[in-house]
Amino acid sequence: KAGVTQTPRYLIKTRGQQVTLSCSPISGHRSVSWYQQTPGQGLQFLFEYFSETQRNKGNFPGRFSGRQFSNSRSEMNVSTLELGDSALYLCASSLSPGTGNTIYFGEGSWLTVV
Amino acid sequence: KNQVEQSPQSLIILEGKNCTLQCNYTVSPFSNLRWYKQDTGRGPVSLTIMTFSENTKSNGRYTATLDADTKQSSLHITASQLSDSASYICVVSPGNNRLAFGKGNQVVVIP
């Protein structure tokens, strides 16, 4: 059974550009969440989707957005990139949003903004 | 304010030795607590998940304990191996689907 797949794994962008990251959850998982991870801050929650609907959103500016498709695949977009957006972006999936479900993380997308 | 505090922030241990990582939380209400292992450059991998009624849970050489009264958890690594070098992240669920993450314990195992 394939795990959570994130693409691309590495990317470099310049300030002001925008970026789209993709996440394919484990087959059968309908809940997808996104996190930003930086050395100083640890994992920061971005948003969570279930059945194409955003259920929760973290404290990030509106430049960060996401969506989920009918096949549960998800994308997140960051517009007008800033240097501080350089981070590892992790996607995680679970069967449903229930707190008892194990959350499985992908390998992440390393974004460097120059 | 971070509701999950982990200590020590980092530690170095000799291969074959044991170590214990601490996680204190103020998250309320409490649903469950998870420990994840994250190798450098990789995504976190679940080690254990414990609910309110569980005191101990093991996964191979990893043993997690939970004291829900004092809101403390520990992760004990027995007979450490070089592959145990990683960040160990404590994650607490308050039951409303918003997980609270610790910043991790960075463990380095040296031969």
Rounded CA separation B56/B81 (Å): 22
pLDDT digits (tens, 9 = 90+) for A81-105: 999 999 999 999 999 886 677 889 9
Q: Verify whether the Cβ–Cβ distance A43 to B89 is below 8 Å.
A: yes
Q: Any CB–CB contact under 8 A between A104 and chain B?
A: yes
Question: Which residue matches tokens 């992790």?
Answer: A90
Rounded CA separation A23/A28 (Å): 14
Residue B2 above 80 pLDDT?
Answer: no
Q: Any CB–CB contact under 8 A between A45 and chain B?
A: yes
CB neighbour class for A3 (10 Å; exposed up to 12, middle 13-18, buried from 19):
middle
pLDDT band of residue B94 (cuts 50, 70, 90) is confident
Q: Verify whether the Cβ–Cβ distance B32 to A100 is below 8 Å.
A: yes
Q: Verify whether the Cβ–Cβ distance B43 to A106 is below 8 Å.
A: yes
Search chain A and give the residue with CA nearest B37: A105
Percentage above 90 pLDDT, chain A: 82
Q: Where are the alpha helices (DSSP H) in B33-107?
A: none
